[in-house]
Amino acid sequence: MAHSAAERVDEQRLWRRHMELAAIGATQKGGVNRQALTAEEFDARRLLVTWATELGLQVFTDDIGNLFLRLEGTDPELAPVLTGSHIDTQPTGGKFDGAYGVLAGLEAVQAIIEAEVRTRRAVEVVAWLNEEGSRFTPGMMGSEAFAKLRGLDEMLNVKDRDGVSVSAVLPEALAATPEAIHRPLGSPVAAFVEAHIEQGPELERLEKTIGVVTGIQGVRRIRVAVTGEEAHAGTTPRATRRDALEESSRMVAALYRGLYIDDDVRFTVGMMQIEPNVPSVVAARVVFSVDLRHPDTETLADLADCVDAICHREASMCEVEIWQIAEAQSIHFNELVVDTIQAASDRLGLANMRIFSGAGHDARQLHFVCPTGMIFVPCEGGISHNEAENATPSDLAAGTRVLVETLLELSET
């Protein structure tokens, strides 16, 4: 019965929906700019609800604007099995990051309907609000509110660069889907499965179609501020300069040398702000970011301590301030869900491997609420958060077939 439902996955229909959704916020270079709580995201919500109502699904939303599309089960009193991801993107994002998880969920539900299978538990497709955090920071807002890992008021007060708060624009998001029935945050969930492109090169490199995700590596996000003194570029000798950029450069170089203790370390300096940032003035202040990740939580903590030690060691004429803005421990997914995904991949004859996620996902937050797992499919060159992001229709469909079988198995528990 499960296998017959998986066979109902329509590769071309799934691809067409990806292309139709990607047209909302499309960029000239073939990517997507559909940031959370923008007009483009409101249009995407409307499109999802249109597809859902055509299938006879019930539509729900909650206080943070998460969107749920429900296929009722034979026992409505039971907690549903949940699947999905997000529909917001980076400003120069791709067509598949997040969107695949939502559209795979919708296609899985349609396949179940067309196979005339009735599940014991309801199956719900969710689009979590603001996973990317590109307009309103930090991300994972919808899933964190759902899991009650952060307070709703805290999130509603977050403002974008123009001073617009989440609370100011959220009513417009809710109004975009008037069909949606309101329900409380954090309603019970039996299990959550998120399908996603890998956002890395391993599946493609090893010629595997399915990644059976076993967990998500931890992350520390740190800011380093180096404060010196403005001075004339032409008249101030080096010996008397308090050059914040020179010392910051030494720190960054030393961090690259000192933090790569093994192949699992992921260290990035992706942002640097310089003041006064003019050509003929010695920099008085530099703030740079540190994004540090590792699968082992203890190792990650040790590396974060090293950031502090290295930066202070490299400082001489300038003052250094270091603070952490976000922290997440490495997590390991529920073995029952992981084994169910593995078994479904094997039954369908799909080449697969177990893999640890290097990127963060909403599944991290759901891990604290219910048994959780993820299904990865390859993306071309491992490229993501990029307008060139790409995946093949056949791989997307294969991952969706695994999702169908996994959802059917979990919905009967």
CATH number, position 397: 3.40.630.10
Does 179 lie in the same domain as 134?
A: yes
d(CA 67, CA 88): 12
Is the domain of 370 the same as that of 277?
Answer: no
User: For residue range 136-149, what is the model confidence (pLDDT) as tens digits?
Assistant: 988 999 999 999 99
Mean pLDDT on 380-390: 96
Mean pLDDT score, 290-301: 94
- Verify that 50 and 93 share a domain, yes or no: yes
Strands 123-128 and 319-328: unpaired
- Residue 3: pLDDT band by 50, 70, 90 thresholds? low
Average pLDDT over the chain, rounded to an integer: 96
Query: 286: domain range?
Result: 218-328
Query: Is there a single domain that holds both residue 318 and residue 342?
Result: no
Mean per-residue pLDDT for 122-130? 98
Mean pLDDT of 189-216: 97
Q: Please say which residue of 296, 328, 360 terminates a domain.
A: 328
Whether 207 and 262 share a structural domain: no
Give the pLDDT confidence score for residue 15 in this predicted structure: 98
**What CATH code is carried by the domain that includes residue 233?**
3.30.70.360
Are 395 and 261 in a shared domain?
no
Q: Identify whether residues 190 and 236 lie together within a single domain.
A: no
Q: What's at 83, amino acid-wise? A: T
| Shared domain check, 145 and 271 | no
Domain final residue pick, 307, 328, 349: 328
Q: Examine the fold and report which residue of 273, 293, 328 is the final residue of a domain before the chain moves on.
A: 328
Omega into 138 within 30° of 0, i.e. cis? yes
pLDDT at residue 2, as a whole number: 53
Which residues, 6+ apart, have CB-to-CB distance to 238 below 8 Å? none
Instruction: Based on the fold, state whether residues 264 and 383 are members of the same structural domain.
Output: no
Q: What is the pLDDT of residues 65-111, one digit of tens each?
A: 999 999 999 999 999 999 999 999 999 999 999 999 999 999 999 99
What DSSP string runs through 24-78? TTB-TTS-B---TTSHHHHHHHHHHHHHHHHTT-EEEE-TT--EEEEE--S-TTS
Q: HSE (CB half, 13 Å, CA atoms) of 163?
A: 0
CB-based contact 126:361 (threshold 8 Å):
no
C-beta of residue 283 within 8 angstroms of C-beta of residue 275: yes
Q: What is the largest CA-CA distance in the chain?
A: 81
Task: Identify whether residues 68 and 202 lie together within a single domain.
Answer: yes
Q: How many domains does the chain have?
A: 2
In whole angstroms, what is the distance from residue 273 CA to residue 6 CA? 50
Answer yes or no: do 179 and 225 share one domain: no
Q: What is the pLDDT at residue 178?
A: 96
Question: Do 308 and 322 meet the contact criterion of CB atoms below 8 Å apart?
Answer: yes
Mark whether 225 and 371 lie in a shared domain. no
Q: 323-374: per-residue pLDDT in tens?
A: 998 888 899 999 999 999 999 999 999 999 999 998 889 999 999 999 999 9
Give the C-alpha distances (Å, rounded to integers) separating 364 from 86, 93, 131, 233, 261.
13, 21, 11, 48, 25
Task: Give the list of residues 6+ apart from residue 142 with CB closer than 8 angstroms, or none.
Answer: 64, 65, 66, 86, 128, 129, 130, 131, 362
